[in-house]
Amino acid sequence: MTATAPALAGRSYDDIAVGEVLPELAIPLTRTLIVATAIATRDFQDVHHDPELARERGSKDVFMNILTSNGLAGRFVTDWAGAFATVRRVKIRLGAPNYPGDTMTMTGEVVSAENGIVEVRVQGANSLGTHLSGTVTVAYPAAEGRHA
C-alpha cells in the first residue's frame, strides 16, 4: 500500500477536542543535545557549553537554553498536531534547569479550539520539577481568512 499525502499529514482540525490530552514525550537530556542546540541557536554563553565555568557561576553543570526549550515545546505540539498545523505562538516560562543526564517529560492538554486555532497547555518536567510551562498555539490552513 502506498501512503498518500493526507495520510502522511496526520490529524486535521476536525480531529481536535478541547480537553484532549497529548501523548507524553520523554526527551533524554544529553550533554550533546544541550551543547549542540545552544550553539545552533547562536547562544554562546559559557553556562550552556562549559561545565567548569557553569559551576564557577553557581550551576551544577551546563544547562539548556531557553531557545531550545521553546523549540522543544513547539515540536511537542506540532508532532501531535500534524503536518498541516503551523505554530502561531509559543508562550512559556522556565523553572527548574534541564541538566545533562536527566529526562524531560512533555505533557499537554488542548485548552481551546476555535476557528482553526488550537491552544495547548504544555509542561516539561524533569527530576528537579517543572522545567517549562505555558501554551503553544497552532493554526490549521482552514483558519486562514477566518475571523474569531
Q: Angle 113-69-17 (CA atoms, 0-180°, nearest 5)?
A: 15
Q: Is 115's pLDDT higher than 90?
A: yes
CATH number at residue 127: 3.10.129.10
Instruction: Give the pLDDT confidence score for residue 9 in this predicted structure.
Output: 57
Q: How far apart are CA 126 and CA 98, in angstroms?
A: 7
Decide if 89 is inside a domain. Answer: yes
Cα–Cα distances (Å) from 11 to 46, 84, 112, 140, in that order, read: 41, 8, 16, 10
Q: Is 125's pLDDT higher than 70?
A: yes
**Residues facing residue 87 across a β-bridge:** 138
Mean pLDDT within 105-120: 97
Decide if 73 is inside a domain. Answer: yes
pTM for the model: 0.87
Instruction: Give the pLDDT confidence score for residue 142 in this predicted structure.
Output: 64
**What's the whole-number average pLDDT of the chain?**
90
- Helix-, strand-, coil-residue percentages of the chain, each rounded to 5: 30, 35, 35
Tally of structural domains, the chain: 1
Question: How distant is the alpha carbon of residue 146 from its chain centre?
Answer: 26
Q: How far apart are CA 78 and CA 46, in angstroms?
A: 30
Range of the domain at 120: 11-29+64-143
Confidence of residue 2 (pLDDT cuts 50, 70, 90): very low
Q: Is 1's pLDDT higher than 80?
A: no
Q: How far apart are CA 46 and CA 62, in angstroms?
A: 8
Highest mean pLDDT among 3-7, 45-49, 84-88: 84-88
Decide if 121 is inside a domain. Answer: yes
